[in-house]
Amino acid sequence: MFNSTVLEVAIGLIFCFASVALIASSIYEAVASWLNLRSKTLLCGISELLNAETSQGHELLMSIYNDALAHPAGNGTATTVKNIRNKPAYIPSKNFALALIHALQKTPEQIDKLESAIDLLKDEQLRALLKNLYRKAEGNLHNFQHELATWFDTGMGRVSGAYKKQSQMWCFIIALIVAVGFNIDCVHLFKTLWLHPASIAQLSVSEGNSLLATQAYAQLQTLPVGWNGQFEWSMLLVPSSVVGWLVTASASLFGAPFWFDLLKLLVRLRGTGTKPENEPPQQTTEPKAH
């Protein structure tokens, strides 16, 4: 069984990792929201699916983004990508499939001529793909919509994976900047907590996932981190400090929820967890009078 010193050190380190991860992800999400990175990534993904570099692919892309099913917040009159306002960050696959069918049909009266509309596409790759999907659906419009939705989900899965890798890279960079900027050296933190485990007494670890980035930073200041009021350039050449910063930044890639869940587990193990609710009251038996 862990002794108290090991638990105190583990709790301090894990709270440090969770706080840095929360701060880094909050900064990244704020920047991503400001720059509309999710909507831009979705637009790039759909452009690749439709080969929007060609004139006909660009026309299909504009038709989809002007369709209220795919882009309900748009004005429906965009002619170029720059004219698309309030780009959506997410499009349901069923809505995309219907919007693409509408773009191929041109008019509702051509619903029975969908295959001929596909044959008129000049992009050989896109035409072959849509023809295969239409044949797989056996000419059934509902099945064709399902096949298009599946194709869209597969393509967006790749886009989502690329976006996740990009976000992890930037979160690592932000976490490293935070670690160096505030001298959050997990090696120094480990040594200090091992000698003085009572240093985490002021931590409110019970708040867990409810912490905001600003609250996490305030709690982090109660640990032995920081430059003590003066930045030292010589510390940038100390191997142990560099390793400590890199480990702190790397740990943030696991995400704040992972570390906070682990933190709750250690708090319960230490015996300071919350008591179970609705605990039945203990009954006392009194000796009967004879």
168 is written with which tokens?
A: 């992890």
Q: What average pLDDT does the segment 260-281 reach?
A: 67
This prediction's pTM: 0.78
DSSP state of 225: -
- Please provide residue 11's backbone torsions phi and psi, each rounded to the nearest 5 degrees: -65, -40
Average pLDDT of the residues of the chain: 83
Cβ-contact 70, 96 below 8 angstroms? yes
pLDDT at residue 210 tops 70: no
pLDDT at residue 107, as a whole number = 55
Q: Is the pLDDT of residue 280 over 80?
A: no
Q: Please count the CA atoms within 13 angstroms of the CA of 68 that sit on its side-chain side.
A: 1
Residue-wise pLDDT tens digits, 97-134: 999 998 888 655 555 678 888 888 888 888 899 999 98
User: What pLDDT score does 195 carry?
Assistant: 86
For residue 157, the tally of other CB atoms under 10 A from its CB is: 11
* Amino acid 285: pLDDT: 46
Highest mean pLDDT among 155-164, 192-201, 223-232, 263-272: 155-164
- In the structure, what pLDDT confidence band is assigned to residue 209 with cuts at 50, 70 and 90? low
**What value does the mean pLDDT take over residues 270-280?**
50
Q: Using pLDDT thresholds of 50, 70 and 90, give the confidence band for residue 177.
A: very high
Average pLDDT of the residues in 133-156: 90
**C-alpha to C-alpha distance for 206 and 265, rounded to whole angstroms:** 11
DSSP-derived secondary structure for 212-232: -HHHHHHHHTTSS-S-TTS--
pLDDT in tens, 10-25: 888 999 999 999 999 9
H/E stretch holding 32 reads: helix 4-35
Instruction: Specify the pLDDT at position 287.
Output: 47
